[in-house]
């Protein structure tokens, strides 16, 4: 929503269009009705070496197939759309920069999720359901979707870009900057959970003060706080745009997101190392509740004196659900790729980094003078 607000204003200033007015009216409607929206950005892309206009099938990137005096008709699909099945609105924006020949693919709009021609194909993962030992983590799952636009009509007052190819990359990257900035807040919270689970299982096992465990917990602290600090820096260095919306500093947003994405498996590795193999082999809750097998588990499921078998059962089952399950695998992949894969953060950092000034510093220190 922020990205659309920023870029529609810039398009209007450059082209004399009325997209920002459309955005403001949609924002009022969105807020007044307390709606929930998806960001439908990532196209399925097809041949990764080919641009949108070079694809064998033009529908592999969402594009405009028809314009009328009442609106546009779009076709294509967006993939990896978190929350796809249960949003009120899909907010569609380009996934990349476009060329002059790719104006039909430079399109952004908002559309109700139940509009004719919109099809939602979902992939759902949930934590394992609990029988008796209920826990807050096991209440909710997550859904990601392929959202298909099969000749969907979009009225002009819901269109935010249509053919302004020069701004497609700007809108894609502006959204990426906001999303990666939000990751600097949400990802440290995931690290907090990994850190807490690691510390608690070590404590329950009687080794919480072991030097190597303290050292690895410190690594988790450093990762969490560096990512969070990047988010704070991005906010503190934010820039006010002509729309009045502030954009977080792109370099710091990308730095934080990169650190998060490249460390996610290392964090889970620390948890797996200290928890041991039990999360993958823990008997089922049915066995725990079974009067024939439950007493054996109560007797032999012991670690540090004073820690009950039930506490051990709960922490190990949580770690199993959190890291050694379908939703655990989903979370690890999402930790790498959500908001943009690490290679995209590298590209983003390079695109705005002033490397030349660093070279000038060294030239000065080394006494190097350019001939000119």
In a domain, 238, yes or no: yes
Q: What is the domain-level CATH number for residue 342? A: 1.20.140.10
- Average pLDDT over all residues of the chain: 95
In a domain, 222, yes or no: yes
- Per-residue pLDDT of 262-281, as tens digits, reads 999 999 999 999 999 999 99
Quick one: which of 173, 262, 275 has its CA closest to 226? 262
DSSP string, 280-327: HHPPPHHHHH-TTTHHHHHHH---STT--HHHHHHHHHHHHHHHSSHH
214 and 154 share a domain? no
In a domain, 308, yes or no: yes
In a domain, 364, yes or no: no
In a domain, 209, yes or no: yes
Provide the residue range defining the domain that includes 116. 18-163
d(CA 315, CA 136): 13
In b/e form, how buried is each residue of 192-227, taking b as 16+ CB within 10 angstroms?
Answer: eebbebbbbbbbbbeebeeeebeebbeebeebbebb
40 and 158 share a domain? yes
The arithmetic mean of pLDDT across residues 191-199, rounded, is: 98
Residue with tokens 């745009």: 241
- What is the pTM (predicted TM-score) of this model? 0.92
Of the residues 104, 135, 163, which one is the last residue of a structural domain? 163
- Give the three-state DSSP class for 154: strand
In a domain, 147, yes or no: yes
How many helices and strands in the chain, by DSSP H and E? Answer: 12, 10
250 and 314 share a domain? yes
Binned at pLDDT 50, 70 and 90, residue 351 comes out as confident
- Per-residue pLDDT of 112-163, as tens digits, reads 999 999 999 999 999 999 999 999 999 999 999 999 999 999 999 999 999 9
230 and 193 share a domain? yes
In a domain, 119, yes or no: yes
Domain count, the chain: 2
- Give the three-state DSSP class for 35: coil
Q: What is the domain-level CATH number for residue 23? A: 2.40.110.10
54 and 99 share a domain? yes
Residue 98 · residue 84 · CB < 8 Å: no
105 and 128 share a domain? yes
Of the residues 116, 132, 163, which one is the last residue of a structural domain? 163
275 and 140 share a domain? no
Q: Is the pLDDT of residue 331 over 80?
A: yes
215 and 295 share a domain? yes
Of the residues 143, 163, 183, which one is the last residue of a structural domain? 163
100 and 51 share a domain? yes
271 and 146 share a domain? no
H, E, C per residue of 320-346: HHHHCCHHHHHHHHHHHHCCCCHHHHH
Instruction: State the Rg of the chain over Cα.
Output: 25
218 and 77 share a domain? no
DSSP string, 38-80: EEE--B--SSTTS-GGGSSSGGGS-EEEEE-SSEEEEEEEEEE
Binned at pLDDT 50, 70 and 90, residue 352 comes out as confident
In a domain, 46, yes or no: yes
d(CA 62, CA 161): 13
- Per-residue pLDDT of 19-64, as tens digits, reads 999 999 999 999 999 999 999 999 999 999 999 999 999 999 999 9
Q: Is the pLDDT of residue 338 over 90?
A: no
Phi, psi angles (nearest 5°) of residue 193? -65, -45
Residue 339 · residue 176 · CB < 8 Å: yes
Phi, psi angles (nearest 5°) of residue 361? -60, -45
353 and 206 share a domain? yes
């Amino acid at each position: 929503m922020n990205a659309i607000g920023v870029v529609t204003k810039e398009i209007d200033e450059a082209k004399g269009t009325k997209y920002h007015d459309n955005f403001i009216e949609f924002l009022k409607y969105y807020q007044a009705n307390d709606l929930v929206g998806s960001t439908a950005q990532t196209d399925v892309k097809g041949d990764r070496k080919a641009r949108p206009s070079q694809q064998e099938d033009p529908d592999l990137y969402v594009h405009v197939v028809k314009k009328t005096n009442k609106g546009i008709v779009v076709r294509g699909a967006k993939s990896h759309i978190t929350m796809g099945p249960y949003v009120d609105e899909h907010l569609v924006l380009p996934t990349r920069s476009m060329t002059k020949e790719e104006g039909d693919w430079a399109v952004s709009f908002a559309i109700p999720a139940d509009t004719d021609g919109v099809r939602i194909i979902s992939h759902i993962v949930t934590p394992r359901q609990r029988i008796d030992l209920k826990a807050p983590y096991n209440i909710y799952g997550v859904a990601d979707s392929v959202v298909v636009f099969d000749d969907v009509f979009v009225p002009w007052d819901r269109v935010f870009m249509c053919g302004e190819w020069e701004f497609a990359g700007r809108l894609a990257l502006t959204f990426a900057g906001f999303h990666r900035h939000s990751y600097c807040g949400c990802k440290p919270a995931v690290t907090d959970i990994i850190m807490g689970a690691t510390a608690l299982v070590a404590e329950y096992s009687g080794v919480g003060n072991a030097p190597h465990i303290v050292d690895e917990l410190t690594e988790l602290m450093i990762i969490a706080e560096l990512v969070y600090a990047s988010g704070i820096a991005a906010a503190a260095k934010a820039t006010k745009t002509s729309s009045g919306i502030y954009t977080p500093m792109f370099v710091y947003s990308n730095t934080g997101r990169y650190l998060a994405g490249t460390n996610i498996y290392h964090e889970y590795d620390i948890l797996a190392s200290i928890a041991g193999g039990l999360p993958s082999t823990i008997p089922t809750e049915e066995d725990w509740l079974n009067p024939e097998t439950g007493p054996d588990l109560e007797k032999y499921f012991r670690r540090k004196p004073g820690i009950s078998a039930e506490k051990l059962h709960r922490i190990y089952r949580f770690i199993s659900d959190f890291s050694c399950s379908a939703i655990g695998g989903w979370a690890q992949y999402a930790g790498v790729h959500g908001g943009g894969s690490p290679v995209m953060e590298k590209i983003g950092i390079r695109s705005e980094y002033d490397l030349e000034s660093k070279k000038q510093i060294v030239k000065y220190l080394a006494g190097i003078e350019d001939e000119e």
